Chains A and B, each alone.
Chain A
Amino acid sequence: MNLNFNRRHFLKTATAGAALAFTPQLARKAFAASPLTMQAAWINDAEFCGYFTAMAEGDYESAGLDLTYLPGGPDVIPESSIISGKADLALTTPDTTIKAIVDQGAPFKIIGAQYQKNPIGIVSLAKAPINSPEELKGKTLAVPPVNVMSVEAMLKLNGVDAAEVNIVPYAYDPTPLIKGEIDASLDFTTNVPYTIEQQGEKAVSFLLYDFGYKTYNDTVVVTEDVLANKRPELVAWLKASRAGWNENFVDPAVWPPKFADTWFKGTGRTIENEIFFNTAQKPLMEHPDGIFAMDEAGVAANVETLNSIGIKATPDMFDTSLLAEIQA
């Protein structure tokens, strides 16, 4: 595999150099710290609150890192950012990452998992509730096209014929669900129920995870190249990020308001929404071995789930050795 990082690297160094010339107070720190760039999976919201907390607390600096944070968006394919060398690590969905490893020979390793349980689930209105895959029969379900495969797999695992569910595209806006044009949608269960309640309806939801589709989400992915050359930085990042998440979860209502004029300014979302999100995601992320943990049972469940939909995952795609280093 021939990856060309040189031009980007040059540009980045040149830009950093230019920036430093204007910010003398940062110069000392930046020269001492190792640069590391992370590509997030989406725009700034509570999904990434732990990283913002770690930055606010100076966890990356004390770990010797000069972290650059890149927000994501619908057209940002996080895996593409690490292939092109734009970022060193990316938060991804494990099914796309592993499919890219298998189908395209992409040189990726998963070194941690932000969500132990994938937050995606089926959301419906309490007045017409859908509480299990069985109840989706004959209903219209809006699903983002990239998740169609996961939903069909979940249906199959539960003995429901996908042809019995009318699957239509979902384009981020819950209005058709609230208005009853669709019966349910696939979304982050940590987020959209808040919106629905703001519109005067009650929402119910179930996780795909709880019906056999046992995958992680926001898996921390690097290229083999970065893994070989920046291992100490990656370990430091995992450690600092874990500290940030731990601090953030002491009270999920405390940190989001502190970012109202920085990370969350002008995003179009509300701080109350971020607090709801932050609170709801806590149980999906926590693990006895700490945030990002990938224990044997978890990796095995991911491999088994992905194999069941024809993605030939293997346990060696998950590299748990960096987590072991911070455990020690």
Chain B
Amino acid sequence: MNGSGNRAATLVLLVALIVIWEIAGQLQLVAGGTLPAPSAILARIFVDRADYWPHVLATLRTSAAGFVIGNAIAILAAICFCVWPFSERLMRGVNIAIFAVPPIALVPVLVIALDGEVARITLAALLVYFPTMTATLSGLNDIDPRTADLISAYGGGRFRALRMVRLRAAVPAMMSGFQVAAPAAVLGAILAEFGSGARWGLGTYLLGSLGRAEPDRLWGIGVTATAIAGVGYGLAALVARMTTGVNRAVTMAPEPPQAGDAEHRMRSIAMTIAAIAFPFLVWQALLVISQLSPIIAKTPLGVVDYLFFSNASAVAQQKLLAALAETIPITIGGMFLGLAIAFVLALIAFAAPTIMNALLPFALITQTMPLVALTPLAVLIFGRGVAVTLVITVSVTFFAAFVVLAQGFALIPRAAFDLVDAYGANTVKKLWLVAIPASRNWLFVAARLAMPKALLGVMIAEWLATGRGLGNLLNQSRGYLDYGMIWTVALVSVLVAVALYQLTYAVDRMTRPR
């Protein structure tokens, strides 16, 4: 293959896409001119350039701090979970809760409990934690078991295996985590700036600009945010590329044997109970430490009381059930759609990296452009029904799943292709016979990332565009200072996400080849 030729092809395709966008913008083809032309966006950034610096610096500082802190904690946690697998089981509920709790429920609480900048960095770090932790853990665990066998045959313990094999093998996966984490950190910083009354930051600038009905300004802010995230993404991708080749196994390892389920059933049930109870203990403990007023801060028992034993219970239950009935079906639909699109994109990245490299900047925009800025465009094109909900859900789910799947395809041992190559297989055959079966584990990792995000996407769409379901209920209860309902919706959305997450484990186990 000719590397510089590929790069030229990518460039041509990228330019072609931008030209199409330019024409669509100039001729006001999309939603009556709501999609501005790239040239108009750049011109507007130039006009506004004096405004940008303090905002960009503030967002850079917040997102960089969140990126570093969130990733450091994520990597340490992944190492703990790998060395002591019981700790992963114990923390699973906490981990998913962190990932699944909707920022629209979280930010008001962070803003009350923490001071300004600390609240903003915390949100960025929280959004970074889960993708990096999951990716790193799967990298640490997904080693060629023969290498670990070698270490133990020579008398090495699990720490030696960690140091000599697992950490090295985990670098590409860790980098794929960073690739998701970079836009997540930027988005976290911007969301927190947007909501928290920060004086500076792209989120603040966005909020002030929203009321102007000037899409070129909003897109300018989005493109700037994407550029910041793109630097982080690009660095992680570079390291991933440099390390993937070194670490790729030459031949495929047999499936590791599964632990016998029966003998550990009792312990397994105990672990599950502990995993469920642990987040509630953490929740209770955080409230005790933060010393918030009981009016604002509901404890687990407070939520139970609100939902079942207070005089508001009947109304609250009715509202909640009605909202869930609207939200859950579309969440499941959105999850599958998001995963399917991620899979197709990952296949494109594998079979035709030229095309994917050109598409990537556009994919990145969807991750860092706050959805509130895209809502007018989305409702003008897709209306305010199921279509807009699915589009928004896909836009928040596909990226993390795509990065994980693409990394999975890239890690397929080279020798695995030799046989089919020898029989003259074309790219499609290669995909069908080798790449797709080999990516099975990665598909479940991707599904685990997509599940809670799908719920989040649906809630955001309900909050911004359709005015229905759980997202709307949350937003209304925020407005009415109905703290009981705010905590209830946050809890229920986490529980739903955890249930969906566990479902992927169950499906994974049931469909695992024997």
Q: How far is the CA of A195 from the CA of B208 in the complex (A)?
A: 12
Docked-complex contact B195 and A76, CB < 8 angstroms: yes
Chain B CB within 10 A, most for which of A75, A104, A148, A198:
A75
Docked-complex contact B194 and A191, CB < 8 angstroms: no
Docked-complex contact A71 and B199, CB < 8 angstroms: yes
A191 partner residues in chain B, CB cutoff 8 A: 211
Docked-complex contact B207 and A104, CB < 8 angstroms: no
In-complex Cβ contact of B197 among A72, A100, A145, A196 (8 A)? A72
Chain B, range 164-223, C-beta contacts under 8 Å to A = 194-200, 204-213, 215, 217-218
Docked-complex contact B379 and A268, CB < 8 angstroms: no
Docked-complex contact A173 and B210, CB < 8 angstroms: yes
Interface of chain B: mostly helix, strand, loop or mixed: helix
A99 partner residues in chain B, CB cutoff 8 A: 480-481
Interface string of B31-54 (1 = CB under 8 A from A): 110100000000000000001001
Q: How far is the CA of A103 from the CA of B108 in the complex (A)?
A: 19
Docked-complex contact B205 and A266, CB < 8 angstroms: yes
Docked-complex contact B479 and A145, CB < 8 angstroms: yes
Docked-complex contact A181 and B379, CB < 8 angstroms: yes
Q: How far is the CA of A230 from the CA of B1 in the complex (A)?
A: 76
B475 partner residues in chain A, CB cutoff 8 A: 145-146, 169
B325 on the A face (CB < 8 A): no
Chain B, range 272-307, C-beta contacts under 8 Å to A = 291-296
A198 partner residues in chain B, CB cutoff 8 A: 212-213
B479 partner residues in chain A, CB cutoff 8 A: 96, 144-147
Measured CB to CB, the closest approach of chain B to A5, in angstroms, equals 9
In-complex Cβ contact of A83 among B295, B312, B372, B476 (8 A)? B295
Nearest residue, chain B, Cβ from A70: B197
B380 on the A face (CB < 8 A): yes
In-complex Cβ contact of A103 among B115, B198, B476, B482 (8 A)? B482
B503 on the A face (CB < 8 A): no
Known: A73-B198, A174-B211. A3 touches B465 (CB 8 A): no
Measured CB to CB, the closest approach of chain A to B246, in angstroms, equals 45
In-complex Cβ contact of A266 among B55, B217, B296, B472 (8 A)? B55
Q: How far is the CA of A273 from the CA of B31 in the complex (A)?
A: 26
Measured CB to CB, the closest approach of chain B to A36, in angstroms, equals 18
Known: A43-B208, A70-B197, A169-B472. A175 touches B215 (CB 8 A): yes
Measured CB to CB, the closest approach of chain B to A12, in angstroms, equals 9
Interface string of A43-86 (1 = CB under 8 A from B): 11100000000000000000000000011111111011101101
A83 partner residues in chain B, CB cutoff 8 A: 112, 293, 295-296
A23 on the B face (CB < 8 A): no
Known: A80-B108, A84-B112. A173 touches B197 (CB 8 A): no
In-complex Cβ contact of B213 among A70, A149, A168, A174 (8 A)? A174
Nearest residue, chain B, Cβ from A177: B213
How many residues on the A side are at the interface (Cβ–Cβ under 8 A)? Answer: 60
A25 partner residues in chain B, CB cutoff 8 A: none
Docked-complex contact B376 and A176, CB < 8 angstroms: yes
Measured CB to CB, the closest approach of chain A to B183, in angstroms, equals 21
B464 on the A face (CB < 8 A): yes
Measured CB to CB, the closest approach of chain A to B211, in angstroms, equals 6
Chain A CB within 10 A, most for which of B55, B199, B208:
B208
A86 partner residues in chain B, CB cutoff 8 A: 112
B372 partner residues in chain A, CB cutoff 8 A: 171-173
Docked-complex contact A73 and B380, CB < 8 angstroms: no
Docked-complex contact A3 and B293, CB < 8 angstroms: yes
Measured CB to CB, the closest approach of chain A to B305, in angstroms, equals 13
B384 on the A face (CB < 8 A): yes
B294 partner residues in chain A, CB cutoff 8 A: 2
Docked-complex contact B481 and A100, CB < 8 angstroms: yes
Docked-complex contact B196 and A75, CB < 8 angstroms: yes
A299 on the B face (CB < 8 A): no
Docked-complex contact B293 and A178, CB < 8 angstroms: no
Docked-complex contact A75 and B111, CB < 8 angstroms: yes
Docked-complex contact A146 and B195, CB < 8 angstroms: no
B195 partner residues in chain A, CB cutoff 8 A: 73-76
A192 on the B face (CB < 8 A): yes
Q: How far is the CA of A171 from the CA of B213 in the complex (A)?
A: 12
Measured CB to CB, the closest approach of chain B to A76, in angstroms, equals 5
Docked-complex contact B483 and A104, CB < 8 angstroms: yes
Q: How far is the CA of A191 from the CA of B472 in the complex (A)?
A: 25
Given contacts A74-B207, A192-B211, A269-B212, 8 further A-B contacts (CB under 8 A): A1-B293, A76-B108, A80-B108, A145-B479, A146-B476, A171-B465, A172-B210, A268-B206
Residues of B near any A CB (own CB < 8 A): 31-32, 34, 51, 54-55, 104, 107-108, 111-113, 115, 194-200, 204-213, 215, 217-218, 291-296, 312, 372-373, 375-376, 379-380, 384, 463-467, 472, 475-476, 478-483
Show 16 residue pairs from A and B whose CB-CB distance is below 8 angstroms, ordered by the A residue: A3-B293, A4-B291, A45-B208, A72-B197, A73-B204, A75-B104, A75-B195, A80-B108, A106-B481, A146-B476, A171-B372, A173-B218, A173-B372, A176-B380, A195-B211, A266-B51
Which 5 residue pairs spanning A and B have beta carbons closest together?
A146-B479, A75-B195, A268-B208, A268-B209, A73-B197
